[in-house]
Amino acid sequence: MTEELLSIFAALLGLIVGSFINVVAYRVPLHRSVVSPGSACPRCEHPLHWRDNIPVISWIRLRGRCRHCAERISIRYPVVEIVTAALFAVTVLTIGTQWVLPAYLWFTGVTVTLTLTDLDHKLIPNRILFPSTAIAVALLGIGALLDGEITSFGRGLLAGLVYFAVLLVIALIARGGFGFGDVKLAAFLGLYAGYLGWGHLLVSLFLPFAVGGIISILLLITRIKGRKDAIPFGPYMVIGAYAAVAYGQDIVDWYLR
């Protein structure tokens, strides 16, 4: 199967995964089950029929409103589904038809979920991060074994520890400037960036501070945020990891030139 065809299948899978991510990102921070009860309107609590749960299409058919009470359905739901689908397709085109591809699709799904929880609640839930990291290690390890890249897997494990340690030191020095959730997220992101190379890890480590600093300054200047307002750092870390996975070596080469 060609990468282009595989990316189309990945995009369709991403739509389904994106729909589930909406559920996980909403329910887990509230300590609710992601399995039961089924999806329902938050206003009238009427259970949604399967035809109202089709990613993107159902939202368009319903014109963004509940079929039973006409309550508005946030446009965020189809946006998350579309973004996840696009990221899945890009992941295939970036990683290629390697055995580690499922591990990187897992990386994409988890990071989208954690970005949403951090933006909504300034929280990176252990209920998502801990099992996701264990699964990531398993998927990446199996993929590396089949690809004959065990050395890369070892480097990824070490890189995750390095990223974790660096952010832990910064968090202790900053005294509340970073949440411990960010520190634990660093291990997850470092695993994937480090698998591709030490240069990728450096990009994943430094880019969040550059992007976060610029955006934070803009938020302060425009008075969208005040000096005492907490700004979630997790999304910047995810942006840095995405850039590292997709363009890590190019960024390193550009910097060295």
Averages of pLDDT over each 10 residues, the chain, 257 residues: 90 96 93 82 72 85 81 90 98 96 98 96 95 98 97 98 95 80 96 97 94 84 74 93 94 84
H helices of the chain, in order, are 3-27, 57-61, 76-95, 101-121, 126-147, 150-174, 180-196, 198-221, 234-256
C-alpha–C-alpha distance, residues 65 and 201, integer Å: 44
Residue 135: which region, alpha, beta or left (left: phi > 0; alpha: psi -120 to 50)?
A: alpha
- Of 189, 185, 239, 179, nearest in space to 209 by CA: 239
Q: Tell whether the torsion through CA atoms of 193, 198, 203 and 209 is positive or negative.
A: positive
CA 138 to chain centre: 18
Phi, psi (deg, nearest 5) at residue 33: -70, 140
pLDDT at 104: 98
Predicted local distance difference test score (pLDDT) of residue 136: 98
pTM value is: 0.92
pLDDT computed for residue 72 by the predictor: 87
Long-range interactions of 170-178: CB distance < 8 A, separation 24+: 178/233
What's the confidence (pLDDT) of residue 116?
Answer: 97
Q: Which residues of 140-160 are buried (b: 16+ CB within 10 A; e: fewer)?
A: bbebbeeeebeebbebbbebb
Q: CA 74, CA 95: separation in Å to the nearest integer? A: 33
